[in-house]
């Protein structure tokens, strides 16, 4: 009998898993493959929802858990975390004896995983390469592309960019973003899930609500708290109940978190509820139902585009990324955010976009 193909997947944060879940489930149930999942980065941290528990609850076995994140939320700790990722993941990857290693996206931890993979002469698969954005993420993404052997971009333009970077067309497969399959499989009845976690006033899901997710921009980390203040006081002016998700672990995240805490203390009467994280089955229906998504998460460009959710994209974090007609880009200023959000709420949902979608991409 032919030996199984060993596939190792490195998951470094909640967004990684949210997009790769349908791919991993297909690999896991295929008898040709032996899937080994390594969870690392903020996947393992309780204050980011400990997404590794979600992986286990979904019936996927975790081969190893590797702790690499350093506290501090500044450029120095981010750089050191990459070094620690290379050091720790080198052994973890080697223990899986992989035929292929999969990474997705542009996280700094994924860059460390990519280096640890290719310098041991293992074959690297990269998903979501070739995209253009306005931050250090783009540099990490392109670096991973040049390290990888096989490429699965999410758009036509991204595929062309990878080929322009010198990668051979025969190793570039544009199958779209696998998160489209997460959207297709989601249950619209999100209220059947338990949504009583987190902190703040309870949300009345039968009435309009805003969905806010704002990550710090690494090159602007010193302005993170100020930028978040502008966003929060714009939603106060709009005065619609708001669901907010805590930021990722990048430099400046402490400033964003501090802004949220101060806002909650100073505006006790405002209907704001903060959550660490949502499982994909809950997050996608929330994204469908929100009156407007405000912030700079890439999910507001990908996932929201599949369902036509109105989006106000705040700041430079996604500059250059392909966006649908449902997205209005503004500077992190209260006046601009408020004006755009009111327009989007009045407009309502848009027609779904096909930029990132190819049916059955997983």
Q: How confident is the model at residue 188 (pLDDT cuts 50, 70, 90)?
A: confident
Answer yes or no: is pLDDT of 295 > 90: yes
- Whole-angstrom CA distances from 121 to 38, 98, 108, 265 are 18, 10, 20, 52
Could you tell me the residue range of the domain that residue 52 belongs to? 5-175
The neighbouring-strand residues paired with 38 are 10, 64
104 and 170 assigned to the same domain: yes
pLDDT tens-digit series, residues 12-26: 999 999 999 999 999
- Of 133, 149, 175, the position where a domain reaches its end is 175
Answer yes or no: is pLDDT of 192 > 60: no
- Residue 281 sits in a domain of what CATH number? 3.40.50.2000
pLDDT tens-digit series, residues 264-274: 999 999 999 99
Residue 361 lies in a domain: no
Answer yes or no: is pLDDT of 153 > 70: yes
Answer yes or no: is pLDDT of 135 > 90: no
pTM of the model: 0.93
Residue 181 lies in a domain: no
Render 22-44 in DSSP notation, one character per residue. Answer: HHHHHHHH-TTEEEEEEEEGGGG
Q: Please answer whether residues 216 and 295 qualify as being in contact, where contact means their C-beta atoms are separated by less than 8 angstroms.
A: no
Question: Considering the chain, what is the average pLDDT of its residues?
Answer: 94
How many domains does one find in the chain? 2
Please state, in angstroms and rounded to a whole number, the distance separating the CA atoms of residues 287 and 187.
12
Please state, in angstroms and rounded to a whole number, the distance separating the CA atoms of residues 127 and 181.
15
242 and 211 assigned to the same domain: yes
- Compute the Cα dihedral for 239, 324, 360, 297 and give only its sign: negative
87 and 194 assigned to the same domain: no
Residue 215 lies in a domain: yes
256 and 220 assigned to the same domain: yes
157 and 204 assigned to the same domain: no
- Of 111, 144, 175, the position where a domain reaches its end is 175
DSSP state of 2: P
23 and 150 assigned to the same domain: yes
Answer yes or no: is pLDDT of 204 > 60: yes
Residue 213 lies in a domain: yes
Q: Please answer whether residues 273 and 203 qualify as being in contact, where contact means their C-beta atoms are separated by less than 8 angstroms.
A: yes
217 and 301 assigned to the same domain: yes
200 and 149 assigned to the same domain: no
Q: How confident is the model at residue 217 (pLDDT cuts 50, 70, 90)?
A: very high
Q: How confident is the model at residue 1 (pLDDT cuts 50, 70, 90)?
A: very low
The neighbouring-strand residues paired with 311 are 293, 327
Residue 124 lies in a domain: yes
Residue 185 lies in a domain: no
Beta-strand runs (E) in 137-291: 150-152, 199-200, 210-213, 242-245, 272-275
17 and 117 assigned to the same domain: yes
Share of the chain above pLDDT 90, in %: 85
Please state, in angstroms and rounded to a whole number, the distance separating the CA atoms of residues 292 and 272.
15
Confidence (pLDDT) at 356: 93
Residue 353 lies in a domain: no
DSSP state of 12: -
Q: What b/e sequence results for 257-284 when a residue is b if at least 16 CB atoms lie within 10 Å of its CB, and e otherwise?
A: bebbeebbeeeeebbbbbbbbbbbbbbb
Answer yes or no: is pLDDT of 111 > 60: yes
Residues in the chain: 362
For 6, the enclosing helix (H) or strand (E) is strand 5-11
130 and 244 assigned to the same domain: no
Lowest mean pLDDT among 149-163, 177-191, 283-297, 319-333: 177-191
How confident is the model over 68-86, as a mean pLDDT?
Answer: 94
15 and 145 assigned to the same domain: yes
Collapse the DSSP code of 8 into the 3-class scheme (helix H, G, I; strand E, B; otherwise coil) and give the result.
strand
- Of 143, 175, 207, the position where a domain reaches its end is 175
130 and 237 assigned to the same domain: no
For 94, the enclosing helix (H) or strand (E) is helix 75-95
Residue 358 lies in a domain: no
């Amino acid at each position: 009998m032919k030996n199984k193909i060993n596939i190792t997947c490195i998951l470094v944060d909640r967004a990684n898993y949210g997009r790769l879940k349908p791919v991993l489930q297909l690999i896991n149930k295929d008898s040709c493959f032996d899937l080994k999942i390594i969870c690392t980065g903020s996947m393992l941290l309780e204050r980011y929802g400990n997404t590794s528990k979600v992986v286990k609850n979904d019936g996927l076995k975790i081969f190893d858990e590797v702790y690499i994140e350093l506290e501090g939320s500044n450029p120095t700790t981010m750089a050191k975390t990459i070094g620690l990722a290379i050091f720790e993941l080198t052994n973890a990857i080697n223990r899986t004896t992989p035929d292929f290693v999969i990474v997705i996206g542009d996280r700094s931890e994924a860059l460390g995983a990519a280096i640890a993979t290719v310098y041991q002469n293992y074959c690297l698969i990269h998903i979501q390469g070739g995209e253009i954005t306005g931050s250090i993420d783009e540099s990490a993404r392109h670096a991973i592309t040049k390290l990888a052997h096989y490429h699965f971009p999410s758009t036509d333009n991204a595929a062309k960019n990878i080929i322009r970077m010198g990668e051979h067309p025969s190793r570039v497969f544009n199958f779209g973003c696998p998160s489209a399959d997460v959207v297709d499989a989601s249950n619209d009845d999100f209220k059947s899930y338990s949504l009583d976690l987190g902190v703040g006033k309870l949300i009345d899901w039968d009435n309009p609500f805003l969905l806010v997710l704002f990550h710090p921009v690494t090159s602007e980390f010193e302005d993170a708290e100020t930028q978040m203040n502008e966003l929060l006081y714009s939603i106060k002016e709009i005065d619609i109940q708001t669901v907010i998700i805590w930021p990722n672990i990048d430099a400046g995240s402490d400033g964003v978190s501090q802004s949220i805490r101060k806002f909650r203390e100073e505006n006790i009467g405002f209907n704001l509820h903060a959550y660490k994280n949502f499982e994909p089955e809950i997050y996608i229906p929330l994204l469908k139902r929100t009156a407007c998504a405000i912030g700079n998460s890439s999910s507001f460009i990908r996932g929201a585009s599949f369902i036509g959710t109105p989006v106000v994209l705040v700041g430079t974090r996604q500059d250059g990324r392909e966006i649908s007609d449902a997205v209005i880009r503004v500077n992190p200023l209260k006046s601009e955010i408020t004006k755009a959000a009111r327009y989007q709420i009045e407009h309502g949902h848009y027609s779904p976009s096909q930029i990132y979608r190819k049916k059955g991409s997983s």
